[in-house]
Amino acid sequence: MSTGSGHLALVDDLVRRGAIRSERVRAAMLVVDRGDFVPTGERSRAHDDAPVVLKLDADGWPASTISQPTMVALMLEELAPEAGDKVLEIGTASGYNAALLAELVGPTGAVLTVEIDEALADGARRRLAARSHVTVLTGDGRAGHPDAAPYARIIVTAGASSTSPAWTEQLALGGRLVVPLTGEDRRGRCVTYEQTRSGLVERHSMPCGFVPLRGREG
């Protein structure tokens, strides 16, 4: 399914433009071909640095996308998952980012990813079946997944108006949370927090745009 040179060219381009900074993220992006996660009809655009829409909502707005590769790389660099980490992702969509997380944590780690849309979760489960340390859960990710907490890393890939108390509770001490915040004072900023003894401390932020979280909040 890989279209070879398009895939390599995309990764090279992300390195050249500074979105990929570490050898670890580069290696993961070389292993996981985005072409295996985009819908069949969109394969020609699999290696463009642009989001691909997977599903529209009732009003015709994107409800699910495969994020722009630049954004995926920047967020993974911020999250900096280590081998053996247990990572929680909110917003599975195609499963592309979950596959990258699986590469980064390796077989001694674990990736739990929560998707609110059942059909999308089923599709991701199929695509990720060969990666036994990835679990796709169907549900509202604002509640996190307390059963497997604490997590060394939590990454949210849909826009939230605020951080959910559940994410804070389920993040290990010294752990990182990367979340796109779309509230009034935080319009389209992707924020990196670190868990400290006195709570979450903001470490970094960058501009971004994401489809909104659905569920109780939205």
Give the burial class of 62: count Cβ atoms within 10 A of its Cβ; 0-12 exposed, 13-18 middle, 19 or more buried.
Answer: middle
CB 198, min distance to ligand SAH, A: 28
Annotate 147-180 with b (16+ C-beta within 10 A) or e (fewer).
Answer: eebebbbbbbbbbbeebbebbeebbeeebbbbbb
Binding flag, residue 68, ligand SAH (CB under 6 A): no
Per the listing, tokens 């497997």 go with 148
Sole binder of ligand SAH in the list 70, 94, 163, 170 (CB under 6 A): 94
CA dist 118 and 7 (Å) reads 29
Clarify whether 2 is annotated catalytic: no
- Whether 92 and 136 have beta carbons less than 8 Å apart is answered as yes
Binding flag, residue 211, ligand SAH (CB under 6 A): yes
80 Cα distance to chain centroid: 12
* Residue 150: cis peptide before it, omega within 30 degrees of 0: yes
Q: Binders of ligand SAH among 115-154, rule CB under 6 A?
A: 115-117, 120, 140-142
Q: Binders of ligand SAH among 175-204, rule CB under 6 A?
A: none
Residue 13 vs residues 27, 59, 67, 149: alpha-carbon distances, Å: 14, 35, 16, 36
Sole binder of ligand SAH in the list 11, 75, 90, 200 (CB under 6 A): 90
Q: Which of 5, 44, 64, 67 is catalytic?
A: 67
Scanning 73-81, 87-95, 165-173, 192-200 for contacts with ligand SAH by CB under 6 A, the matching segment is: 87-95
Binding flag, residue 97, ligand SAH (CB under 6 A): yes
Binding flag, residue 156, ligand SAH (CB under 6 A): no
Question: Which residues contact ligand SAH by CB under 6 A?
Answer: 63-67, 90-91, 93-94, 96-97, 114-117, 120, 140-142, 157-158, 211, 213-215
- What residues are annotated to the active site? 67
